[in-house]
Amino acid sequence: MELLEEEEAAIPELKRQLEKEDLGPEEKISLLNEALNKVLNSAAVQADSAALTRVKSQLYLSGVLGQCVRVLPLGRNWTSAATLAHLTSCSCVGAEPGSRSEAFHRLFLPSVMDALLSLANQLMSRAECSALFRKVMDSVGWLLSAYAHLTDQVLSSVRYEQIQMCEDVAVSLLCIQMWIQTCTVNRDFLSRLSDESVLLLLNEAVGQLALSSDSAVGGASVRLMLLMARQLGLRLQSLLLNFKGLDSLLEKDWTGRGFDQEVGQLISILQRDGAGSSESEVSAERLRAACLIQAAWRSYRTRRRVKGLNRAVSTLQRRYRARRRRLQEQREAQQWEEQLSYQVCVRRQRARRRFHQKQRELLLLLPPDQVRPYLQECERRGAVAIQSAWRGFRERRRYKGAVGDALRESQRRQRAARTLQRAGRRLLEKRRAAKAPPLAPPWIGQDGLTESRRAELKQQVDEHIAVHRVI
Return the DSSP state at 96: -
The torsion region of residue 270 among left (phi > 0), alpha (psi -120 to 50) and beta comes to: alpha
Distance (Å, whole) CA 41 – CA 230? 37
CA distance linking residue 54 with residue 200, whole number of Å: 36
For the CA atoms of the chain, what is the radius of gyration? 47
Q: What is the DSSP string of 432-445?
A: HHHHSPPPPPSSTT
Q: What gap in Å lies between CA 360 and CA 354, rounded to an integer?
A: 10
- Domain extents for the chain? 1-166, 167-172+183-301
pLDDT at residue 425 in the model = 93
User: In 3-state terms, what secondary structure has residue 121?
Assistant: helix
Centre a 10 Å sphere on the Cβ of residue 163 and count the other Cβ atoms it contains.
23
The pLDDT assigned to 7 comes to: 57
Mean pLDDT by 10 residues, the chain (471 residues): 57 77 79 83 74 83 84 82 87 84 87 88 81 87 85 85 82 86 83 83 83 83 85 77 76 78 81 59 77 88 80 86 94 93 93 89 82 86 93 89 86 93 93 77 55 86 79 53
Q: How many angstroms separate the Cα of 91 from the Cα of each of 17, 112, 165, 244?
A: 19, 11, 30, 43
Please answer whether residues 143 and 116 qualify as being in contact, where contact means their C-beta atoms are separated by less than 8 angstroms. Answer: yes
Whole-model pTM?
0.54
CA 232, CA 8: separation in Å to the nearest integer? 42
Rounded CA separation 377/368 (Å)? 15
What is the per-residue pLDDT for 125? 77
Q: How far apart are CA 444 and CA 106, in angstroms?
A: 11
Closest among 128, 7, 126 to 56, alpha carbons compared: 7
CA distance 101 to 108: 10
CB count within 10 Å of CB 238 equals: 13
Q: 249 Cβ partners below 8 Å, 6+ apart? A: 209, 210
Say if residues 55 and 3 touch (Cβ distance below 8 Å).
no
CB 201 within 8 A of CB 228: yes
Amino acid at 197: S
- Torsional class of 416: left (φ above 0), alpha (ψ -120 to 50), beta (otherwise): alpha
